Amino acid sequence: MRIRKQIWDEFWRLVGAADRIALVTHKAPDGDAIGSLLGLGLALKRIGKRVITACHDPVPDKFRFLPGASEVLQSPDGIAPDLLIALDSSEPARTGRFAGLINSPEIDVLSLDHHPTNTGFGLLNLVDPDASSTSELVMDALEAGGLALDESIATCLLTGIVTDTQAFRTPNVTPSLLLKAGRLMNAGAPLYKIIAGTVASISYIVLRLWSEALRGVRLEDGVIWAVEPLEMRKAIGYEEPGDGHLVHLLLSVAEAKVAAVFRMERAGEVEVSLRARPGYNVASVAREFGGGGHILAAGATVPGSLDEVVARVLPLLKAEARREI
């Protein structure tokens, strides 16, 4: 569902009437959260608005090259905007310590988002679940308002699109998105640099973690999985949370319908990362173990040893991979 022209007109009418505008994105920000925040922020500054950009957590290192990244505030103290625009956030709580500001009756709030779970908490909700990313939606907003792109804005927005689509690899990439990406490049956004610095880049220590974990990789009945014991992670010196996205690599195996990585970050409990090909559902499996997520990407934290947890989760994954689709 594309957003109608009249709704964009209303968006620009509200923006036009405001002087001080606060833009807020969700906590634990990804590339789309930061890209849409900074891209819209730069565009509104360009038309003379007093803009602040804000996020509960710091901008991750890999997005600090983006213009405006160093100006993102982490605290709501002293912020009293005429208008607040929440980006990429399905509900106020996703913005962490900015939820109070969003819920304040004195502040007009607009929600710009592509999550189908958006609760419609804004005065105006510009929610398009068919958009690849909130950054794509910001581009739609700028084009609807007749605002020109420049290199800085285009770089922010293309970063959001690239990171949310794994560089055009997700099923929701449309012809229109490719045309928009072409226009962003024409405005100066460096596609190769953005991809090389985000979705196509892993650190050497991640490669070594993968190497160790792949020694025990197994494929049975359409389920591919690997384990990352605590000792493995320690021996390599890998101290980041997460599986280093090994589960993405596993799901790229043609014979796999469902992929899992079981990793131990602390003794006594196992983090389970699950991914599925379109047609399968790992959110339901994650929920059985108290976890959650999307249909194709979910996870859970399960008490027990690696062997115990694998033995409990694997039969459910195999049952899912056996389903007729």
Which helix or strand (DSSP H or E) is residue 270 part of? strand 269-276
Residue with tokens 């689509």: 165
23: β partners: 53, 85
| Shortest distance in whole angstroms from residue 187 CB to a copy of itself | 9
| Shortest distance in whole angstroms from residue 291 CB to a copy of itself | 25
Closer to a copy of itself at the Cβ: 37 or 249? 249
Closer to a copy of itself at the Cβ: 239 or 255? 255
77: number of Cβ within 10 Å:
7
Residue with tokens 């020109």: 148
Listed as own residue / partner, the contacts of 236-244 with beta carbons closer than 8 Å and 24 or more positions apart are 236/205, 236/208, 236/209, 236/212, 237/205, 238/205, 238/206, 238/208, 238/209, 241/265, 242/273, 243/271, 243/273, 244/202, 244/206, 244/209, 244/210
Closer to a copy of itself at the Cβ: 17 or 219? 219
Closer to a copy of itself at the Cβ: 17 or 196? 196
Name the DSSP letter for residue 160: H
248: buried, middle or exposed (CB in 10 Å: 19+, 13-18, 0-12)?
middle
| Shortest distance in whole angstroms from residue 49 CB to a copy of itself | 29
| Shortest distance in whole angstroms from residue 279 CB to a copy of itself | 12
| Shortest distance in whole angstroms from residue 277 CB to a copy of itself | 8
Name the DSSP letter for residue 292: E
| Shortest distance in whole angstroms from residue 191 CB to a copy of itself | 6
Closer to a copy of itself at the Cβ: 117 or 186? 186
Residue numbers at the binding site for a copy of itself (CB under 8 A): 167-171, 173-179, 181-183, 185-186, 191-192, 195-196, 200-204, 207-208, 210-211, 214-215, 217, 219, 224, 249-250, 252-256, 277-278
What is the spatial order of strands in the sheet that 292-293 belongs to?
Answer: 218-220, 223-228, 258-266, 269-276, 297-303, 292-293
